[in-house]
Structure 1
Amino acid sequence: MSELLLQRVKRATSAALVALVFTALTACQPAEQAEDSPAAQSGDVYVSPNDERDYGVVRLDNGLTVLVVSDSNADKAAAALNVHVGSMQNPAQQLGLAHYLEHMLFLGTEKYPDPDEYGEYMSRHGGMHNAYTADDHTNYMFQINNDRLDEALDRFSDFFKAPIFDPEYSEKEINAVDSEWSMRRASDGFILFKLNNMTLNPEHPIARFRIGNNESLGDKEGSVLYEEMLAFYERYYSANLMTASIVGNYSVEELTEMARRHFADVPNHNAEVPEIDVPAVTERERNVQIFYKPQMEMRILQIDFTIDNNRQQFASKPNELVAYMVNSEMPGTPGAFLREQGWADSLNAYAQPGAYGNSGRFIIQAELTESGLAHREQIAGMLFNYLDTLREEGISDAHYNELATVLSNRFQFLQRGDAFSYATQLAAALQYYPVANVIDASYRLDGFNRDAVNALLSQLTSDNARVWFMSQNEEVDQTLHFYDGEYRLQPLNDEIINGWREQAAEIEVGLPSVNTLLPEDLSVKPLPETTTAQQVIEEPGLSAWLQVSERFREPRADVTLMFYQDHAQRDLQERIAATIAVEAFNVAEQALAREASIASVSYNLSLQQGLNLSLSGFNDKQAQLAERVLTSFASYEPSAERLSQIKDRLRRNIENQARQFPVQQLGPRFSQLMNKPGDDNATVLAAIDKVKLNHVVDMRDALLNDVHLRALVVGNYTTEDVEALIERLSGIVSVTAEVNYARDPVVTPQPGQTVIHAQDVPVEDVALLDSYLFADESAATRARVSLLAELMHSRFFNELRTDKQLGYAVGVTQLSVADYPGLGFYIQSSVANLPDIMGHFDSFRTEYTEYLETLDEDTFAEAKEGVLGSLREQPQNISQEAGRIRADWRRENFSFDSRDQLIAAVENLRLDDMLAFYQQQVLQADANMRVLIQLRGTKFSDSDWIELDDAVVVDDVAEFQRQFEE
């Protein structure tokens, strides 16, 4: 049997609805083996005409299939390995075992026994690594500097050949899994996942607890955890159940040799995953109403249908076609009706065809307003009636052709992502699609299969529905085991659903009209003589810059239109009225936004320092779209109902922030403190109530008058195109030379000052961000901070997370306040109070001096190269390229060389400089501004806060910021 199938790619155009992402593959059935596919037999992989990478398929003798990707432009290399086993294969007595094994696997191998070596190696060489456990597969991945790929693969592959599973770490990793579960137990997303599964057929493996914790994992009568873990590994971690991908700046032949060298000796036990032969939903679970009282403030109506696993119909896409018809917000559709009535903020339909392994889900979800909540049964009836209309009238050729055009355009000009994500996606896709289609499966639409569409629609019926109602108003009578959720179940029958249908009988909705924003001109403009960013318009109160992309020759552009005003100087009520004006407009014009997004020419209207309109995607109709958006905004007047709706949304957003994972709240609270203007949530909530309709209309007008118009265009435009774009907008906004652009105001770091912000939060855990800010914007200081964060992160993580088991989310990160750099230490913990955590932080920082003093030059040089490798990484698409240019454009650095300056500064760093910086700038209180954000959860409500000498305790953010007014 030949070990290698080496191929030259076939460049073909096909289609897909959404980009292939690993999260969409968490519960899919495997596709047929690669050799069953004619395309795979001939060595073909279908790729986009826009993809210049070379691909190779390696089928090793042990049964492991590897897809290698040769990318001559790659700045980073990456690899991933997917094992076709996940949480549904957990043994009944050790729920969470697959996830626990994922944790244990990283803690040393026979060749590399040090449990910290892998993570530290990645950190030193510009890398990162991760893994996740899904219901039916487990995926491991890493990214590294190109020149270290072979060495990284040697370490990575050893996990699947000779892990040591040191019993010393067995109990610690149970605690790590428990911390991860604890962090998520109050998350609505995880609660709903659990609630859905536990209300399915209890005989189906999807119905069981999956993540694991201290209760579900451990030694029990007849089951020893360590022995069960070894047995699970030996049974399922077999080469014939594995797929892998490698991406790097090497030839296909070189990558193939690496694949052979590192993966050919992964053991093959000819393993089989037990077939699931019980239905996920029986008659008992099918017709049910589920009432859920969420942790966050939300109002959701969800209709959930169990469907056949039709993933292998990816080339005809019945799921996407039906979802396309439900999601449309064209006039006369359900989505348009709900917005016109002010009943919903969004309507979305999507399929998870392999959610339960042997079957899947089709979900229609409406995010309701307060008014919509009162009409939710009528809305459910309307949606059931609309599905009847779809079954009766069918999907037209015009709608099929429209989706085919959308997908074809996306695939023809398929945008690249980073190597890490791409390797992850490919390794997972190899489990579910023929090798030939691992790239184009989500973009392929080969013909209108009406039978497949009708088969799906025949399952989207009221007698096959599970209907969810979610709000704070729900009456509940049961609690979830292991999660902080409350719910109630109630039967659903024809009498109830017919009553809903009758309520909706007078609502007239129909199928959508065709999309008017699909691009017609996909030509690429010729390159100008100068391809660096150029100012193409300079007039009083008006400037425009153009950067034609030399790297990405495709019909796309990224456009930023900034209608600058000194928005920060407005009072709080004016700022809130402006926010409401923009938010209300965005809700009202969701149909236009959806139409644009489908056509891959999306826009975003937002508030920054004044109104900001950004556009991205195909450039053909961007100018037309910009004019439509601004013209509509200029005349938009919200109703009293819409004002109430947006106020409610703003209130809920603020209240929900406090219910997020504490570690997720640290960054926003830090920004609220350091970026001006900042206001306490209570102050903002009070101000929201005072805003009237006339305030909103006045601020709408104010946002379009007396502006400094700044434009940045990156991509497929000419100077004449930019001028024409600005000309279209000139009659809508009023430009003035009296307004001069300035960057967003911030709190300037004050060396020697310590600031503490402490807040109780309505979740269990504590979280801490201990940050050190430097009042030096130079590239040299930013370089030192960047390298120091890189050096410290893995050691900090290993000590506080792996060894001391203080929390799941632990790390060191680089911060910034405008261009002022900072170093931040963070954690979320369910086991230690804030003062104890600070003691561990302080001990680490003190002891780190000794580590730096003994650090050898070779290790330091490796860490430098790791940082430089990340900085030198080229943008993967126009959006990334524009993001880098925009950062300098905003800071008015028209040399556009901030990144080059930082690279040069990192190159010049010396070990003795780093030691001196750490000792003299980080550890010396008078050399930096220390900002401490501490969040205390309910589990620790009786414990003390951290107190520091001479600290400013911030009770009022606005008052604190007034101390720094210039």
Structure 2
Amino acid sequence: MKMRHSLYHIILLSLTAVLFTACQPAPDEPAQSDAPPIYVSPNDDREYGVLELENGLQVIVVSDPEADKAAAAMNVHVGSLQNPDEQLGLAHYLEHMLFLGTEQYPDPDEYGDFMSRHGGQHNAYTADDHTNYMFEINNDRLDEALDRFADFFKAPKFYPEYSEKEINAVDSEWSMRRASDGFILFALNNKKMNPEHPIARFRIGNSESLGDKEGSVLHEEMLAFYEKYYSANLMTASVVGNYSVEQLKEKARAAFADIPNHNAEVAEIEVPAVTGSERKIQLFYKPQMEMRLLLLDFTIENNLHEFRKKPNEYIAYLINSEMPGTPAAYFREQEWVDSINASAQENAYGNAGRFRIQLELTGQGMEHREAMVGVLFEYIEKIREEGVRTSYYEEIKQVLDNRFQFLERSGAFDYATSLAASMQHYPLAHVIDAAYRFDEFNEEAIHRVLDQLTVDNLRVWFVSPEEEVDQELHYFDGEYRIEPLQDSVIANWLEQGREVDVSLPSVNTLLPEDLAIRPIAGAESPQKAVQKEGVTAWYQRSERFHEPRAEVTLNFNQAHHERDLRQRLAASVLVEAFRLSQQALAKEASIAGVDFNLSVGNGLTLGMSGFNDKQPELAQRVLADFASYEPSASRVEQVKDRLRRSIENQNRQFPVQQLGPRFGHLFSVPSAEDSERLQTLRELDVADLIQVRDALLADNYLRALVVGNYSAEDVEELVAAVQQIVATDASARYQRSPVLTPRAGQKLQWQRNLELDDSAILDAFIVEDTSVQSRAKTNLMAELMHNRFFNQLRTEKQLGYAVGVTALGAREHGAMAFYIQSPVASTAELLEHFDDFRADYLAYLEEMDDEAFVEAREGLLVSLREQPQNLREEAARIRADWQRENYSFDTRLRLQQAIERLSKADMVQFYQSEIQQQQNVMRVLIQLQGTRFSDADWAELEDAQVIEDIGNFQRQWLQQE
């Protein structure tokens, strides 16, 4: 279940990964607290405490005096594997029902409303072996939040009258995913395991699998499931806040001590995940999106308990290497692959795990995929015979030690979530360091895994639009075929593999050697390290994160080439082709702890993130390689095909995920309809790319921003070094990429039919002026409206799963949008529901008491006041101001101050003038009509300009400016 600030609530923003971060003394010294101790990172000054309550519930508390918000999570060691056969998806359905009121707080909306009023968010998810519930709240409301949260695990109401609505909610969630290749492949893989194993069953649930049946009443089954498994002895909890360890313990004890303990047990899975019938097979899948994959799957023993020995990671490290002579390097040289990745999930099937090698293939690679299987088996044999060495162990250990020694923080919400889950899988002492601990080189453990990476244990997947299929997958839209893997077939593959001479990787030369911390300069905001004709460089030593890392942005600025669609697409093809050519270096650098990315936007931009020691050397290597890069004709065709698929596949993404990019295309200049982009892409050749490369390297204005472990002198040296490679123009001036300027009173409408079932709309309001006051009002209005909008359209009306109101980033303009994806309504019907909600909302806002308004405003302010959790977050905030040329670097502060001054009367006036009367806003409606509603009418904005062709629209708009 995804609630406030869910994945879909932030579809219009960049997704950020959940970081599993950690904490305090040295890697080999446990934190001092109640036994057992917890091993933590020396890069964290938080304090930890552990308690086991009398009811058997284990709790970790984290005292962080600097935490802007508090958070908690409760993990229950039961999930989809425990679903009864008669009610598939029951664990997920229960997760939904649990949120709808308790004995102490019976109102189904009370929990969400409370979180919304106090800067909070809440969420939950159901996995195969656990279900995790979590929330975040303003620190001063932690006691009240814990009281509400804990009551879910003591006395939930489970109102029967909400059953049908939550079945519909689960069904909507399933409907969103039924045509997603990732979910289809996941479901198909599980279905083709041992049919006697619970992993082989449908897991998410829908209106077909959930409901009353002969011999099975859903509500009774749910109550029985809850009584059986929701027991304190199967739960682990975490609490994070700015209170002392003892205070947090007392809060946890007060909230959780009386959760019932039924001494529940989760039965061990006795049946094997695979038998002879499910091994040594070929699976052919025809995807919904255009993709070409080769997957080698091996079912392995669940060796999660061997996390200190890391046999899976050791083998994956060698397979993933792109050093010369390795399979990955060979495949790239042949232009057979776009990517290769080996990884293991130790408990993928509960009592068994999976080791997977995944290759994303090119068109050429499709013709050689059997040979690639042979090469990989040849390489695995070489690892078995020659590759189990202490030298590789020491290199991997150094990589992990460096990461753990300077482990970055995540926010309280993510951290609490990961801790509660980790407690179910690792000894309490190692819930933080398990992913980084590599205590011993154990040849036996490594060979034990290698002995399972065999032909007899192989499940090989061929995924492409060309696959011949003969079966449909129940519950999902996928089609597939399965064949046994004959000895003669695999013998031929192995013979092809022996024709290629593969070798083990050489030593990584980019591992950091200098981890010294530079002296802090003392400035509170970025300072200029270089200012001369054609060059400006800013730098900021972090006062918060004292670590040998840096975030570097080198922008060789020129925006003139971006006004032409052909040049922009040529630049995109060029940098993507170059990226593919640099994968060996990129992989080596990433393993060493520094990532880089070359992109085009406002000119050529090189970004680097991570340990700073080798960054100057890396920058020079990358830029020198780019300056002399000439892609082959075959590589250009490979990248053009890749970008073509990316454009075409966007139409097959979740409808709600398409809304943000479609909105952005309207305003980003130059843009065009997919058909024009594809036609222009087809026309590009090597000469176009060389021309763009030379243009990108000439007449530049170099703007540099460095945040982290650099001195002013270090920045000067870096700038001087890169100027030797990319020339700058003394007469050049900074130019920003053009965008369309919003016009008050204008209404725009863009609409397309989808090949998917569901419909989706985004209804945006963009304020014409660029004042911080306008941004403050749109941000606060979205905060005020979201929870009520979600409750009415999602919970009460059951219109869809992905529903929300969000503030938008539209350069300096204040903007907000309403959005939804629905399996039950057309776009016209959805807009009507939006209008109905907005018609009633003014009265609700006017009647809102002052205390509730202040609480909601304060909740938003607490979020804005949150300190960055790591250097990347700190640099991102600085970079945003740097890019908009606000060298006071105070946008966030001014936005806070503007919000602090807003009264309820201000927001009522803003709602009347801009949402109802639309006096100073431009309104933009993006609508995607699903196949279920192909005969339905489009939503219509009165007097709106319907955009038939984005390119023509932009050209006409710019002519009028």
Is this contact kept in 1: 2:283–2:483, CA < 8 A? yes
| Structure 1 counterpart of 2:751 | 758
| Structure 1 counterpart of 2:637 | 644
Aligned pairs (5 A) from 1:206-245: 206-245=199-238
| Structure 1 counterpart of 2:366 | 373
| Structure 2 counterpart of 1:269 | 262
Aligned pairs (5 A) from 1:558-637: 558-567=551-560, 569-637=562-630
* 2:774 is equivalent to residue 777 of structure 1: no
Aligned pairs (5 A) from 1:784-799: 784-799=777-792
| Structure 2 counterpart of 1:161 | 154
Distance 1:530 1:114, change over 3 A: same
For residues 559 and 833 of structure 2, the distance between their equivalents in structure 1, rounded to whole angstroms, comes to: 43
What secondary structure does 1:823 align onto? strand
Normalising by structure 1, we get a TM-score of 0.96
What secondary structure does 1:697 align onto? helix
Distance 1:244 1:570, change over 3 A: same
Out of 314, 322, 336, which is 2:315 matched to? 322
For residues 927 and 88 of structure 2, the distance between their equivalents in structure 1, rounded to whole angstroms, comes to: 34
For residues 377 and 145 of structure 1, the distance between their equivalents in structure 2, rounded to whole angstroms, comes to: 56
Out of 176, 187, 192, which is 1:194 matched to? 187
Is this contact kept in 2: 1:921–1:927, CA < 8 A? yes
For residues 563 and 789 of structure 2, the distance between their equivalents in structure 1, rounded to whole angstroms, comes to: 43
Out of 852, 856, 866, which is 2:849 matched to? 856
What secondary structure does 2:736 align onto? coil
Aligned pairs (5 A) from 1:480-629: 480-567=473-560, 569-629=562-622
For residues 523 and 890 of structure 2, the distance between their equivalents in structure 1, rounded to whole angstroms, comes to: 17
For residues 228 and 56 of structure 1, the distance between their equivalents in structure 2, rounded to whole angstroms, comes to: 37
For residues 427 and 227 of structure 2, the distance between their equivalents in structure 1, rounded to whole angstroms, comes to: 27
| Structure 1 counterpart of 2:71 | 78
* 2:409 is equivalent to residue 416 of structure 1: yes
Distance 1:857 1:39, change over 3 A: closer
> Aligned-pair distance for 1:567?
4.2
For residues 731 and 828 of structure 1, the distance between their equivalents in structure 2, rounded to whole angstroms, comes to: 51
| Structure 2 counterpart of 1:711 | 704
> Aligned-pair distance for 1:529?
3.9
Is this contact kept in 1: 2:528–2:538, CA < 8 A? yes
Amino acid at match of 2:643: L
What secondary structure does 1:110 align onto? coil
| Structure 2 counterpart of 1:30 | none
What per-residue deviation string (whole Å, max 9, x for no partner) do you get for residues 112-143 of structure 1?
Answer: 11111111111111111100000010000111
Out of 310, 335, 345, which is 1:342 matched to? 335
Amino acid at match of 2:237: A
| Structure 1 counterpart of 2:4 | none
For residues 112 and 20 of structure 2, the distance between their equivalents in structure 1, rounded to whole angstroms, comes to: 23
Moved more, 943-952 or 259-268: 943-952
| Structure 1 counterpart of 2:381 | 388
For residues 674 and 751 of structure 2, the distance between their equivalents in structure 1, rounded to whole angstroms, comes to: 14
| Structure 2 counterpart of 1:303 | 296
Amino acid at match of 1:47: V
What secondary structure does 1:606 align onto? strand
| Structure 2 counterpart of 1:203 | 196
Moved more, 943-952 or 872-881: 943-952
| Structure 1 counterpart of 2:110 | 117
Amino acid at match of 1:933: I
For residues 250 and 546 of structure 1, the distance between their equivalents in structure 2, rounded to whole angstroms, comes to: 34
* 2:922 is equivalent to residue 929 of structure 1: yes
What secondary structure does 2:698 align onto? coil
For residues 871 and 38 of structure 1, the distance between their equivalents in structure 2, rounded to whole angstroms, comes to: 31
What secondary structure does 2:338 align onto? strand
> Aligned-pair distance for 1:681?
1.1
> Aligned-pair distance for 1:640?
1.1
Out of 87, 93, 98, which is 2:91 matched to? 98
Is this contact kept in 2: 1:334–1:383, CA < 8 A? yes
Is this contact kept in 1: 2:470–2:479, CA < 8 A? yes
Of all paired residues, the percent bearing the same amino acid is: 63
| Structure 1 counterpart of 2:61 | 68
Q: Which 5+ residue runs of structure 2 have no aligned equivalent?
A: 1-16, 22-29
What secondary structure does 1:132 align onto? strand
Is this contact kept in 1: 2:285–2:467, CA < 8 A? yes
Is this contact kept in 1: 2:784–2:856, CA < 8 A? yes
Aligned pairs (5 A) from 1:22-37: none
| Structure 1 counterpart of 2:8 | none
> Aligned-pair distance for 1:570?
4.0
Is this contact kept in 1: 2:228–2:264, CA < 8 A? yes
Distance 1:505 1:266, change over 3 A: same
Moved more, 561-570 or 582-591: 561-570
For residues 96 and 523 of structure 2, the distance between their equivalents in structure 1, rounded to whole angstroms, comes to: 52
Moved more, 582-591 or 777-786: 777-786
Is this contact kept in 1: 2:782–2:805, CA < 8 A? yes
For residues 236 and 372 of structure 1, the distance between their equivalents in structure 2, rounded to whole angstroms, comes to: 48
| Structure 2 counterpart of 1:293 | 286
> Aligned-pair distance for 1:504?
2.2
Amino acid at match of 1:662: P
Distance 1:39 1:394, change over 3 A: farther
What secondary structure does 2:74 align onto? strand
Normalising by structure 2, we get a TM-score of 0.96
Q: Which 5+ residue runs of structure 1 have no aligned equivalent?
A: 1-18, 24-36
* 2:802 is equivalent to residue 809 of structure 1: yes
* 2:888 is equivalent to residue 891 of structure 1: no
Is this contact kept in 1: 2:573–2:640, CA < 8 A? yes
What secondary structure does 2:298 align onto? strand
Distance 1:268 1:38, change over 3 A: farther
> Aligned-pair distance for 1:40?
9.3
For residues 413 and 215 of structure 1, the distance between their equivalents in structure 2, rounded to whole angstroms, comes to: 49
For residues 151 and 924 of structure 1, the distance between their equivalents in structure 2, rounded to whole angstroms, comes to: 39
* 2:390 is equivalent to residue 397 of structure 1: yes
Amino acid at match of 1:488: R
Amino acid at match of 2:730: A
Amino acid at match of 1:549: S
> Aligned-pair distance for 1:964?
3.1
Amino acid at match of 1:675: S
* 2:47 is equivalent to residue 54 of structure 1: yes
> Aligned-pair distance for 1:954?
0.5
For residues 947 and 878 of structure 1, the distance between their equivalents in structure 2, rounded to whole angstroms, comes to: 46
Out of 240, 247, 252, which is 1:247 matched to? 240
Is this contact kept in 2: 1:39–1:436, CA < 8 A? no
| Structure 2 counterpart of 1:9 | none
> Aligned-pair distance for 1:20?
8.5
Distance 1:343 1:40, change over 3 A: farther
For residues 551 and 722 of structure 2, the distance between their equivalents in structure 1, rounded to whole angstroms, comes to: 17
For residues 523 and 63 of structure 2, the distance between their equivalents in structure 1, rounded to whole angstroms, comes to: 30
Aligned pairs (5 A) from 1:642-791: 642-791=635-784
> Aligned-pair distance for 1:695?
1.0
Amino acid at match of 1:639: S
| Structure 1 counterpart of 2:9 | none
Query: Between Structure 1 and Structure 2, how many residues are aligned?
Result: 935
For residues 730 and 68 of structure 1, the distance between their equivalents in structure 2, rounded to whole angstroms, comes to: 50
| Structure 2 counterpart of 1:361 | 354
| Structure 2 counterpart of 1:4 | none
Moved more, 492-501 or 735-744: 735-744
> Aligned-pair distance for 1:747?
1.6
Distance 1:22 1:112, change over 3 A: farther
> Aligned-pair distance for 1:839?
1.0
> Aligned-pair distance for 1:97?
0.2
* 2:839 is equivalent to residue 846 of structure 1: yes
What secondary structure does 2:919 align onto? helix
For residues 122 and 543 of structure 2, the distance between their equivalents in structure 1, rounded to whole angstroms, comes to: 32
For residues 746 and 425 of structure 1, the distance between their equivalents in structure 2, rounded to whole angstroms, comes to: 40
* 2:872 is equivalent to residue 879 of structure 1: yes
What secondary structure does 1:925 align onto? coil
For residues 147 and 78 of structure 1, the distance between their equivalents in structure 2, rounded to whole angstroms, comes to: 11
Amino acid at match of 1:599: A
For residues 43 and 137 of structure 1, the distance between their equivalents in structure 2, rounded to whole angstroms, comes to: 23
What per-residue deviation string (whole Å, max 9, x for no partner) do you get for residues 670-689 of structure 1?
Answer: 00012222211111100011
Is this contact kept in 2: 1:20–1:442, CA < 8 A? no
> Aligned-pair distance for 1:743?
2.5
What per-residue deviation string (whole Å, max 9, x for no partner) do you get for residues 49-106 of structure 1?
Answer: 1110000001000010000000011111111000000001000000000000000000
